Homo-oligomer: A and B are copies of this chain.
């Protein structure tokens, strides 16, 4: 499906189309920046790279500014253009999504600061394997959620939500092991606490990735699936047919153009 060809039929104003396109691009740009922050934070804590950690901490400010900029643009467009249902849904969803992206950025920054605290700790310390497993998983979930957003892919969105269940379970198990370790190694308490906080930040990133996945469902189906178990999401798909107008605006075809 070609975006540009459909533009005139969908909106009286070509300029409005350009504005929506810009919003979408800015969201994806912000997503890319957040992914980079997360990647760096994870490498910083896994390889004790303090210089990289400091880059992450300084980079957070840019993401914050980006959030405020996109938020203002969304509100301005809604007020000026008074968009119809599907465009409005896009703008409201972007406004929600940037909030979750900003919080993923916050958690990445937190992990970076913890990696500085951990300093010269050995990677053989308990919890590093958990950091690695949960870290790579939430990193891939965030990437998948953003791709699902760009491609309006509800299957991938559901997959992200399912993985979040794995993350929650793994996090709880790791927590139990780490607390057990503290009990028999009192000297390691400071270090283990820092790892617990980092794991907690990763678990939160998983929650935000899940929120992004819920946004995709809202965008495509117009249904709020928040607070529902992922296995119940399917039920709302059967009721509401896929909205073509949204698809034409953010289709995989369009995605490859950029």
CB pair B189–A68 under 8 Å, yes or no, is no
A95 to B92, CA, bound (A): 10
Can you name 15 A-B pairs with beta carbons within 8 Å? Answer: A61-B227, A65-B227, A68-B224, A68-B226, A72-B224, A75-B92, A78-B88, A78-B92, A79-B85, A79-B88, A179-B189, A179-B193, A182-B189, A183-B189, A186-B186
Number of copies: 2
A99 CB, min distance to chain B CBs, angstroms: 8
Q: Which of chain A's residues 157-206 have a Cβ closer than 8 Å to chain B? A: 179, 182-183, 186, 189-190, 193
A76 CB, min distance to chain B CBs, angstroms: 10
A235 at interface, CB cutoff 8 A: no
Chain B residues, Cβ within 8 Å of A84? 79
A64 at interface, CB cutoff 8 A: yes
CB pair B227–A68 under 8 Å, yes or no, is yes
A182 to B182, CA, bound (A): 9
* Binary contact readout A64-106 vs B (1 if CB under 8 angstroms, 0 otherwise): 1101100110010011001011001100100100000000000
